[in-house]
């Protein structure tokens, strides 16, 4: 059967933990075809962010034109956009599609990935047309109340809260995993959410399944020993030598 297509619009992470690598691996694990529009190239490892090279907005636009003009995109997920012009471009092209916005403002290591102009563009242009926004605690504080559904993810507590614009909430708890290998967790969660929406799940169901998938991948990689810092969440689902 032909799989649904999910598009990630995000940056690369040379360490393979977060960003496009996490998104495409998650899409593959969840049975959707992944397309990717790259917004920036980052030099990053488990210790932190070393350099960011933004892709010019016109090159982001060309990638969007190529994908949206040809593939039947069933859902879109955005990660690090990094530039207000790119935030507005994505709003312009992707509103109307099922759209998961992970409002990436800084890396787990603390590096700032968005300045005030990016936050303003999110609030003004992109977030109002999103299907769901997935802020962590810090991002929720910066962005404030939003006019669309949000999943406020709870790092370490493993308790996620789906907040509807009318203020009603639903709480979803997972078994917390004790691990330092959590680089890419937020990307994995929002990519899984987009994949489940593309499969036709309703938002509450997709949220629960995405959280369970992410917690499961954290559990899978909890004893891994990769890098000198916070290692990546597992992206494999079948590690080991091929038979």
Ligand X SMILES: Nc1ncnc2c1ncn2[C@@H]1O[C@H](COP(=O)(O)OP(=O)(O)OP(=O)(O)O)[C@@H](O)[C@H]1O
Ligand Y SMILES: Cc1ncc(CO)c(N)n1
DSSP-derived secondary structure for 94-141: HBTB-EEE----B-TT--B---HHHHHHIIIIIGGG-SEE---HHHHH
Binding mask 73-112 for ligand X (x = CB under 6 A): -----------------------------------x----
Site for ligand Y contains 98 (CB under 6 A): no
The one among 4, 7, 13, 196 contacting ligand Y by CB under 6 A:
13
* Span from 3-11, 87-95, 210-218, 235-243 in contact with ligand X (CB under 6 A): 210-218
DSSP conformational letter for 220: H
Q: How far is the CB of 49 from ligand Y (least distance, A)?
A: 7
Site pattern 41..60 for ligand Y (x: CB under 6 A): -x-x----------------
186 burial type by CB count under 10 A (0-12 exposed, 13-18 middle, 19+ buried): buried
Near ligand X by CB under 6 A, which window of 41-49, 64-72, 181-189, 224-232?
181-189
- Give Cα 183 to chain centroid, integer Å: 12
State whether residue 33 is helix, strand or coil: strand
Cβ(84)–Cβ(59) below 8 Å: no
80 binding ligand Y? (CB under 6 A):
yes
Nearer to ligand Y, 174 or 183 (CB): 183
User: Does residue 11 belong to the site contacting ligand Y (CB under 6 A)?
Assistant: yes
CB of 158 to ligand X, least distance (A): 3
Residue nearer to ligand X on the CB measure, 12 or 185: 185
Taking CB under 6 A as the criterion, the residue among 79, 98, 211, 221 binding ligand Y is 79
Strand partners, 161: 152, 171
Cα-based torsion angle of the residue sequence 142, 148, 149, 155 in order, rounded to the nearest 10 degrees: -10
Site string for ligand Y, 171-210 (x = CB under 6 A): ---------------xx-----------------------
| CB closer to ligand X out of 73 and 213 | 213
Going across the sheet that includes 5-13, the strands are 49-54, 33-44, 5-13, 73-78, 99-101, 132-133, 150-152, 159-163, 169-173
Asked if 40 and 25 touch (Cβ cutoff 8 Å), the reply is no
CB atoms within 10 A of CB 54: 18
Assess 204 for contact with ligand X (CB under 6 A).
no
User: How far is the CA of 215 from the CAs of 166, 185, 226, 230, in angstroms?
Assistant: 28, 9, 19, 16
CA distance 175 to 38: 33
Please, which of residues 140-159 interact with ligand X by CB under 6 A?
153-156, 158
- Can you give the binding site for ligand X, defined by CB under 6 A? 108, 136, 153-156, 158, 160, 174, 176-177, 182, 184-186, 189, 211, 214-215, 218
- Can you give the binding site for ligand Y, defined by CB under 6 A? 10-11, 13, 18-19, 42, 44, 79-80, 104, 107-108, 186-187
């Amino acid at each position: 059967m032909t799989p649904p297509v999910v598009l990630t619009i995000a940056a690369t992470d040379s360490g393979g933990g977060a960003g496009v690598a996490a998104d495409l691996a998650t899409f593959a694990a969840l049975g959707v075809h992944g397309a990717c529009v790259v917004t920036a190239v980052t030099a990053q490892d488990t210790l932190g962010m070393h350099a960011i090279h933004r892709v010019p907005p016109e090159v982001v636009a060309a990638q969007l034109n190529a994908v949206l003009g040809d593939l039947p995109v069933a859902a879109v997920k955005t990660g690090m956009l990094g530039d207000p012009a790119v935030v507005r471009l994505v709003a312009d092209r992707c509103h109307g599609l099922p759209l998961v916005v992970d409002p990436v403002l800084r890396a787990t290591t603390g590096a700032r990935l968005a300045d005030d102009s990016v936050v303003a563009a999110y609030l003004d242009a992109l977030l109002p047309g999103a299907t769901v926004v997935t802020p962590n605690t810090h991002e929720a504080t910066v962005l404030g109340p939003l006019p669309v559904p949000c999943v406020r993810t709870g790092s370490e507590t493993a308790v996620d809260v789906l907040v509807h614009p009318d203020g009603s909430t639903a709480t979803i708890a997972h078994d917390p995993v004790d691990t330092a290998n959590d680089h890419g967790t937020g990307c994995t969660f929002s990519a899984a959410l987009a994949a489940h929406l593309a499969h036709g799940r309703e938002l509450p169901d997709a949220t629960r399944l995405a959280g369970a998938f992410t917690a499961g991948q954290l559990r899978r990689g909890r004893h891994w020993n990769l890098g000198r810092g916070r290692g990546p969440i597992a992206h494999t689902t079948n590690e080991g030598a091929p038979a």
